[in-house]
Amino acid sequence: VRELHPETAVILLTGQGTVEMAVRAIQEEGAFHYFEKPIDFSKLRLVVERAVEYAEARRENVALRRQLRDRGAFGELVGVSEPMRQIYALIEQVAPSSASVLITGESGTGKELVARTVHNLSPRKSTSFVAINCSAIPETLMESELFGHERGAFTGAASRRLGCFELANGGTLLLDEISEMPVSLQAKLLRVLEDRKIRRLGGTHEISVDVRVLAATNRDPAEAVRNGAFREDLLYRLNVITVELPPLRRRKEDIPLLGQHLVTQLSEKHTRPARFLSKEAVEALESHNWPGNVRELRNVIERAVIICPGEIIERHHLVPAFIDQRSRPRGTDTVSFPVGTPIEEVERVMLLRTLQKTDNNKTRAAELLQISLKTLHNKLRHYREHGLLPEGSETRAQAARHATADD
């Protein structure tokens, strides 16, 4: 039966069984359950109900795996929705060229994955792919990170160091969160993009580079130009082609496929038995608003994979991810939690609610919470890195300043 229909859940009934036979039937032969006569029909009914759910989940899993296999040309990019089909078509068109690409979208939508996919489908796929996060590097070090420096160029420069442009020579360079780059450095970047030459800090001669530049931002580039945070001429130079990634809440039909992809990937990473999501778990995932997008979904699935003891991830393995307090009205001072909510989730919700109440005054919020300002920044950084902050609660520039201040 299992050879013809591998998804079938087999329940064995016997009148002459032993413990050894039961163990062998389940572990070696793949039986779903084992009963000795006389049969307790109330227990049998429960097992049959679980077996039906198991078989349905396995069938859905096979279909999802087939979809993933058939759509494997785009690597880590997963989805069959119309917005994602348009993204795939655009990537196929732009990848073979050397044109600059601007990738936009909310935090956690997968902008770096798009950049890597463009690189992997391009003639440069066998060369270097280098990514730099412009919001995470202090302004004083940014020029050295991009263009490198010579020995003695500044205090602490004990040896020559190659910058990202030289490291990516012949390949692709991703400038992530480009709108957070200091305006003074944007002018130098524009000149490099036009001349294809760089000069290391402390250097005396120019070095030719052959680099395809991709840029990404979670801000509206046009608004950044209006606010004076982004040079208009640099935007025109980078914005040859724009790839705009949709937030996960606008492509919820991709969640079953994306969830299955993450379960498979993360169960292999952590060597866990989880193989697929129950119907109820998928429904719970589809009902969530996903302010942290795919990054938040990945964190939710990773937690579920780790704590799930068997093959099927159930809805309760996803708690507390869906105790969503972020949409509460501003005037609400009372927050309630279901019994059993982990203390980490209670702490996160209360911290964010206090920040909301104080209009994001972190000093005042720290006082109300009776923690140090540094502890508050550290917790916010942890939430941000794990996709647990509401979109727009902090800019990446603020985050970088906080990280620098904490250090």
DSSP 46-77: HHHHHHHHHHHHHHHHHHHHHHHHHTGGGTT-
Q: What whole-number distance in Å separates Cα of residue 128 and Cα of residue 131?
A: 10
Q: What whole-number distance in Å separates Cα of residue 144 and Cα of residue 160?
A: 11
Residue pLDDT tens, the chain, 407 long = 555 666 677 776 776 655 566 555 554 455 666 677 777 777 778 778 777 776 776 666 566 555 545 554 466 788 889 999 899 989 988 999 889 999 999 999 999 999 999 999 899 999 999 999 998 888 888 999 999 988 888 888 888 889 999 999 999 999 999 999 999 899 999 999 999 999 998 888 999 999 999 999 999 999 999 999 899 999 999 988 999 999 999 999 999 999 999 999 999 999 999 998 998 899 999 989 898 999 999 999 999 999 999 999 998 898 665 644 444 444 445 666 666 677 888 888 889 888 888 888 888 888 788 788 888 888 998 888 877 876 555 544 344 444 444 44
Write out 231-264 in H/E/C secondary structure. Answer: CHHHHHHHCCEEEECCCHHHCHHHHHHHHHHHHH
The total of other beta-carbon atoms located within 10 Å of residue 365's CB is 22
- How do beta strands 129-133 and 101-104 pair? unpaired
Answer whether the bond into residue 273 is a cis peptide, omega within 30°.
no
Is there a contact between 275 and 281 (Cβ–Cβ < 8 Å)? no
pLDDT of 114: 95
CA nearest to 192, candidates 216, 177, 175? 175
Q: What whole-number distance in Å separates Cα of residue 103 and Cα of residue 239?
A: 9
Q: What whole-number distance in Å separates Cα of residue 400 and Cα of residue 406?
A: 10
Q: What whole-number distance in Å separates Cα of residue 120 and Cα of residue 364?
A: 48
pTM of the model: 0.65
Q: What whole-number distance in Å separates Cα of residue 182 and Cα of residue 202?
A: 20
Is there a contact between 14 and 36 (Cβ–Cβ < 8 Å)? yes
Q: What whole-number distance in Å separates Cα of residue 56 and Cα of residue 123?
A: 43
pLDDT of 17: 58
Is there a contact between 177 and 396 (Cβ–Cβ < 8 Å)? yes
pLDDT of 400: 44
**Domains recognised in the chain with CATH numbers:** 11-70 (no CATH), 78-246 (3.40.50.300), 249-317 (1.10.8.60), 343-406 (1.10.10)
* Angle between helical axes of 82-94 and 111-120 (0-180°, round to 10): 40
Is there a contact between 112 and 120 (Cβ–Cβ < 8 Å)? no
- How do beta strands 101-104 and 212-217 pair? parallel
CA nearest to 262, candidates 74, 10, 77, 100? 77
Q: What whole-number distance in Å separates Cα of residue 8 and Cα of residue 385?
A: 41
Residue type, 297: L
Q: What whole-number distance in Å separates Cα of residue 108 and Cα of residue 294?
A: 5
Is there a contact between 276 and 304 (Cβ–Cβ < 8 Å)? no
The total of other beta-carbon atoms located within 10 Å of residue 386's CB is 16
Side-chain-facing half-sphere of 204: CA atoms under 13 Å: 2
Residue type, 216: A
Q: Where are the alpha helices (DSSP H) in 308-372?
A: 343-357, 362-369
Is there a contact between 132 and 173 (Cβ–Cβ < 8 Å)? yes
